[in-house]
Amino acid sequence: MQFDVFTLFPDTFGPYLQAGILNRAIESGLLTVHLHNIRDYAHDRHRTTDDTPYGGGGGMVMKPEPLFEAVGSVLGDEPPCPVILLTPQGRLFDHRVASELAQHERLALICGRYEGFDERIRAHLATDEISIGDFVLTGGELPALVVIDAVTRLVPGALGDPDGALDDSHALGLLEYPHFTRPPEFRGWRVPEVLLSGDHARIERWRREQAIRRTLLRRPDLLESAELSEQDRKLVQQLRRNVGDEE
């Protein structure tokens, strides 16, 4: 998987890319991240990448010329991959979108700054727009790292456990079940006996039940589109009755 990131602040990416899973993926050749400084494509004396908005108003707007030249120089006039604008106006990023993006061998990410983009960038350069949530950040660098991290986890071989991503929260539409590790008792709080039983079938049933229970209590909206068996649906009905009785 290759990412081409267009940014005004390429130095913000290094520490995160050099740690943990992403660093191992880079070292093993599964992940390549090329950082392109948008200022390198601004040719005036001050390397200007923003200007005041037509019509007045606060803030500065990112100019079209440097970004069009940057993307064109790296990807050509007809980019061979999605060109994604990271913006609060984009479609909401979630596991489904990450899985969709992971099907591509290459992705381009454009990080905004200031008040926003010249609309011609949005209309004629970007092929997709993504938001990581209903809030505003000072720039697109953090959203770009979020996308890189989430998508890379879905690349075969990026995780030590080949099935690791399958159990993650949201992978199957549910929140993940609780985890425990040693010691078996800590300050009087014991690990559930089923996890110490060695009975893998019981453990899998318990984990599934706990995932459904946690999703129902914390994110019941996810159950509407989750992949549930008939047995799962019966459990959901039973848990809902139990919750109603407790209230």
State yes or no: is 168 an active-site residue.
yes
Of these residues, 82, 88, 149, 214, which one is catalytic? 88
| Calpha distance 210→177 (Å, rounded) | 5
Of these residues, 168, 176, 209, 232, which one is catalytic? 168
State yes or no: is 153 an active-site residue.
yes
- Which of the residues are catalytic? 88, 115, 153, 168
